[in-house]
Chains A and B, each alone.
Chain A
Amino acid sequence: MTEAVAARPSVALPGLRVSRSAVVCALYILFLMLPIYWLVNMSFKTNEEILSSFTLWPAEPTLRNYAVIFTDPSWYMGYVNSIIYVVMNTVISITVALPAAYAFSRYRFLGDKHLFFWLLTNRMAPPAVFALPFFQLYSAIGLFDTHIAIALAHCLFNVPLAVWILEGFMRGVPREIDETAFIDGYSWPRFFVKIFMPLIASGIGVAAFFCFMFSWVELLLSRTLASVDAKSIAATMTRTVSASGLDWGVLAAAGVLTIIPGALVIYFVRNYIAKGFALGRV
C-alpha cells in the first residue's frame, strides 16, 4: 500500500495495519484482561473443576455460582447496600461541592487558598488512619451500620475531589455569562440551575463518575462502619473467604458481578473520560 508512507501512517486505518502502536496497546490490554478472563472463567466452573484440573475454558459450564449469589440475601443484599451508599455519597458530594466550587472559581474571600488546600489534604488522608475514629464516632451518634454513615465517611475524600474537578470546569466558563444573566434579572439560584449547570454538565458527569468510582472501590471504611444492615458487597466477599474457606467458584462469581457496575459506568461516560482527566487544569 502506498498509504504506508503517507503522512500519518499509524492511526488512519484502525485495525487493518499492524503498527507498533497497535501492538503496544494490544499487549497492554492483554495484560489487563488476562486476570479478569481467569476470574470470569473460574466463575463458570464447579469447585471440583477449579481444584482438580487446569482448563482454559470451563469444561462443564455451570451457573451454580451465580445462582448461589442471586438466591442468598446475605450475598445479593451486599450489592444493594453498596449501590445505596454509593449513590447517596455521589448525590451528597456533588450537591455540596457545586456551590463551593462556584465560590472558589468566581470569588476571592478570606482564607480561600488555605481552605482549598485544607480540603485537598483530606484527599491525602489514609483511610486506615480514620477507620477506628470513624467507628467510634458513628457508634456514638447511633449511625453505625447505616448507609448514610458509609456515604458520609466516603465524603471525606470524594467532596474535596468533586470540588477540585468542578472548580476546574467552572473556571473554563467565562464570568461574563454570570454577569449577563444577573443583568437579565436572574436570581442566583435560578441562574445556577437553569444556565450554569447545563454549561458544566460534562464536568458534573465527570465529578459524579469519580465519586462513584472511589466510593464503589473502597473497602476499609465500608467494612469498618457496617456489620449487617449496610454491609457492602466488598465486605461480604472478604468475610466469606475467611468463613466458608474455599468456595472459589462463588467468590469468582461475586467478583465478576462487582466489575459489572463499573464497566457500565465507564461505557456511559467513555466520551468524557479523556476530557475529565484533563480537568481543564493543564
Chain B
Amino acid sequence: MPVATPRLLTAEGHELRMVLQKHKARRKRKAFLLVAPLLTFVVVGFCLPILDMLRRSADNSIVEETLPRTISSLKGWDASGDSLPGERAFAALAQDLVLAQQQRRATRLGQRLNYELSGLASLFRRSGRDMEKVVLEVRSRRGSYKESLIAFDARWGELDSWRVLKRFEDEMVADYYFASLDMKRDLQSNEVSFRPSEERIYLRLFGRTVVISLGITLATLLLGFPLALWIARLPTHQGNILLVMVLLPFWTSLLVRTTSWIVLLQQQGVINDLLVAIGIVSEEGRLRMIYNTTGTVVAMTHILLPFMVLPLYSVMKTISPSYMRAAVSLGAHPISAFWKVYFPNTVPGIGAGAIMVFILSIGYYITPELVGGRTGVFISNRIAYHISSSLNWGLAAALGIALLTFVVAIYWLYDKLVGIDNIKLG
C-alpha cells in the first residue's frame, strides 16, 4: 500500500521533485546539443532537398507569373469548346509576352509548356523575340491583336495552344506525376489516360528496374547464402579473415570495380578471349555480356554481395550448432534438419540482406549507367538524364518521388509480411 509521504525537500529546502526534474531537463539539453550538428546536417542536406524536390514535382508557378494578364483574361473561356478566346485574351498575351521578353522569361516558359505540347518552345521563343514589333504594328494600325498574332504565327490560331495555357494556369499541377506514370491529361476533355503502350517509357523502366533488382537480390542470396554458411561455421580466426575478404571490395572504388567488369566481359574482353581460345564460342559468335541487362546484373550482383553476406553471417553466427545436432538426434536426416531447423532461423538474415540489396539496387545509378547499355539502365538513369540533360527538373522530381513512394511501400509491405523487428543486421 502506498503511504502518503510528506513532501520531500532537499537540504536547502527546495522541493526535491522539482530539483530532480530540473536536473533531468538539463541532461536532456546536453544530449540534444551533442546531436545538434548531425541533426542540422541531416535537415539541411537531406530533408530540405527532399522537400524542395517534392515542391518542384508539382510547381507550375511560372505560367501564372509570366502571363498574369493572359491567365485572368482566360477565366471565362471554355477550354473544351471549339472557339478561340476573344480579342481581350490575345491583347493580354501580347502584352505579357513583351514584358516576359524584357525579363527573359518567354523562352523558359516555352520550354516548360513544351513538355505538355511539343512545338510551344519554338512558338514562345519566336513570339517573345518579335512581339514588340507586332504590338507596335497593331497599335499603329489600330488593328486586331487576334488577327495579327495568328498572322504572325498560325499556331496562335490553334485551339491546343490556348488550351495548354488554360490547363496550366494553376500554381500547382499533378501533370509531372501523370507523365512519370506514362499518363496524359487530354487538353480538350481534361481526362487522364495512359499513353499508348508503345509510348510508355517510365512504367517500362520502373518495371525493368524492379525485375532486375529482384534478379540481383536473388543472385546475391544464392551466392551469399552458402558463403555466409561456410564462414559462420569456420573457427573465429579463419572466419574473420574471410570476412575481411568479403569487405575488401568496399575499399576499392565503385568505378574501378565496375570498369573491371567491363574489361572482363566486353566482346574483346578476357572472358570472351578465353572462351574463343578453348573453342567454346567462335570468333564471330563472341558473347555480348556487357552494355546490356546481363552486364548490369553481373556487375551489381558483385557490388551488392557484401550487403547480403554480412547480415546473413551475423544471423548464422548466433544459431547454435546444437540445433542441428538436436534435430539429427531426434531422427531427422541432416538435409531435412537443415531445412526444418537451421534454415528457418536464418530467415531474419535473409530478410535483412534481401531488403538491403533490393532497396540499394532499385536506386542504383553509376553501374547501370556504365555497363547497362540500352537494355540495362534503371529508372535512376532516366532521372539523371532529366536533371542534367533535358533539364526537366519537375519530371525528374516526380520520378524521384514515385521511386521513393515505391521503396516506402516495399518497406511497409515487408513490415506487414515479415515484421521489421525480425530484421537482424548484426
A and B assemble together = no
Which residues of A line the B interface, CB within 8 A?
none
